[in-house]
Structure 1
Amino acid sequence: MSNKVILVVLDGLNYQVARDCMGYLNGLIEQKKATLYPIQCELPSMSRPLYECILTGVPPVLSGIVNNQIVRLSNEESIFSLAKSQGKVTAAAAYHWVSELYNRAPYDAVRDRFTDDETLNIQHGRFYHWDHYPDEALFLDAESLRQQFNPDFLLIHPMNIDDAGHKHGLDSRQYRNSARAADIYLSNYISTWVDAGYQVMVTSDHGMNDDLSHGGILPEEREVPLFVIGDTFTHAETTVKQTELCGLCCQLLGLEHCKPYAPEMIAL
């Protein structure tokens, strides 16, 4: 059984848009190579609090990362810290808030944008600080990290879907087409990742509304997708919580941990 994981967090991707617009991922489902689970994100439905939730399993109101303006290191054990402490190689191509949560805060672009330091929780990082940084470039950054360092855990976190939602809203061609574009980029890599022994999870932090924002309890803000691809997943019918994604990754990585997860999702 493989113990390597790629977690893709497509920022701001609403569940129904993922279901309607992402033809490649849904094609994998039709061929029994992937399963899609609906997830209700934790509250508030905002980015930095939910990065922390996904990567630590702790809801925002308990982690203390309750809005996007809180700039400090996480106080929780994360996938990165657990993996690094147990001898795994960690990497991320992600928005700079991830660096601030798990490596160093505040982010210094000159120091942190290109990170290679085995003493840090995210040992190999390619971080960006522009919401319009092209998803295509971000996936290239991620694949370069994968090929160069062969990480056990790789986080990939592009921002263009969220950026389109903030500019044009949920019910816009720009938002839907950003989701379609991400699906195309994923189609260039997923089979290669699976062949290299990775279990792949594709999810989102939160959705989007027609006010060009998110943060509340509307279904379109809270409902996000989880696609799972790989031979270690059972693809069973079950319910998954956002707070279980961290533990699921830890379990797939073979880490010792105390995080909640859905054991019925993983084949023994």
Structure 2
Amino acid sequence: MKVKQNNQVILVIIDGLAYDTATDCMGYLQSLVEQRQATLYQLQSELPSLSRPLYETILTGTSPLEHGVLHNQIVRRSTEESVFSLARQAGLTTAAAAYHWFSELYNTAPFIPERDRLTNNPSLLIQHGLFYHEDHYPDSHLFCDAEILRQTYQPDFLLVHPMNTDDAGHKAGYDSGLYRNTVRRADVGLSGYLHRWRAEGYQILVTSDHGMNNDHSHGGTLAMERLVPLYVIGDGWSHNDDCR
């Protein structure tokens, strides 16, 4: 595959994706690792292993105890410096196809669907957004939303955030066929877009906020709740084995 080179970054956060399930079920991403076209790291999430606190942690590099978003019911804008704010300070273009909690953290809170679902405002931290507000919103639609944003606005930083894996875990639990097969479908659905993005030289990160447990939930200290994958794709990263 002929690869261009650029410095634009795509961050994919597959909500609720546990490390072991990723390595067992994501055949396309694991093939990139086997062919040394990607590097896989195992990460341990901060606590509590809940989504909204960890969205803020991923985007700001601060822990929940520092940034103060301690559970999912805290609805307010971020008070921290984030990847989005740094990109805007540098005059770069930002976009997100993501769950509405990201809009609340970095654009406007509370989220009002008829106002905020489709965002195109150069003054906001996330300038261009396609935000959804139901956990069963299809990953296939979400990946298409992200590609529309990429092709239309050519953002320097694009966040892609599908939710079906987390939704399946809450319905059936970590050790379930529904959870594993949803991860497999995410891998298949994402593969075509990743192939295209790689060919165009994007620097890509694929990771998760937290995993899942057999009680159909998360938030605690179990390895299945805290251990998540980080796939690093592109020549702009160090691919340092010492960080594994």
Pairing 1:54–2:53 present: no
Which of 206, 209, 220 is the matching residue for 1:216? 220
Q: Say if 2:131 is the partner of 1:121.
A: no
Q: CA deviation at 1:235?
A: 1.8
1:127-166 equivalences in 2 (<5 Å): 127-166=131-170
Cα deviation for residue 239 of structure 1 reads 2.7
TM-score of the pair, normalised by structure 2? 0.97
Q: Which amino acid aligns with 1:206?
A: H
Q: Distance in 1 between matches of 2:34 and 2:222?
A: 29
**For 1:238 and 1:194, how far apart are their aligned partners in 2?**
24
1:87 aligns with one of 88, 91, 116: 91
2:84 partner letter: F
1:245-266 residue CA offsets vs partner (Å, 9 max, x unmatched): xxxxxxxxxxxxxxxxxxxxxx
Instruction: Indicate the residue corresponding to 2:26 in structure 1.
Output: 22
Letter in 2 for 1:204: S
2:75 corresponds to which of 68, 71, 77: 71
SS in 1 for 2:241: coil
1:84 Cα offset (Å):
1.0
| CA contact 2:17–2:183 (8 Å) conserved in 1 | yes
Q: Identity across aligned pairs (percent)?
A: 62
Query: Using the alignment, how far apart are the partners of 2:240 and 2:101 within structure 1?
Result: 33
Question: So what's the TM-score if we normalise by structure 1?
Answer: 0.88
1:5 equivalent in structure 2: 9
Q: Which runs of 5+ in 2 are unaligned?
A: none
Distance 2:111 2:167 in 1: 20
What is the CA distance between 1:196 and its match in structure 2? 1.9
Count of residues in correspondence between the two structures: 240
What residue identity is the alignment partner of 1:67?
H
Read off the aligned partner of 2:35 and give its amino acid letter: Q
Question: For 1:239 and 1:212, how far apart are their aligned partners in 2?
Answer: 31
Q: Name which of 85, 92, 103 aligns with 2:107.
A: 103
Secondary structure at the counterpart of residue 238 of structure 1: helix
Secondary structure, aligned partner of 1:162: helix
Aligned partner of 1:201 in structure 2 is 205
Give, in angstroms, the shift of residue 85 of structure 1: 1.6
Aligned to 2:235: 231
Ranges of 4+ aligned residues in structure 1 off by more than 4 Å:
none
* 2:188 counterpart of 1:184: yes
Q: Distance in 2 between matches of 1:218 and 1:61?
A: 19
Q: Deviations over 1:5-63 (max 9, x none)?
A: 00000000000000000000000111110011000000000000000000000101110
Contact 2:7-2:236 within 8 A present in 1 as well: no
Shift of 1:2: 2.6
Output the CA distance in 2 between the equivalents of 1:127 and 1:109: 8
In structure 1, distance between residues paired with 2:228 and 2:10: 18
List per-residue Cα deviations over 1:182-212 (Å, max 9, x = no partner): 1001111112112222100000000000000
Any idea what SS the aligned residue of 2:123 has? coil
Counterpart CA distance in 2 for 1:67 and 1:155 is 22
Q: CA RMSD in A?
A: 0.9
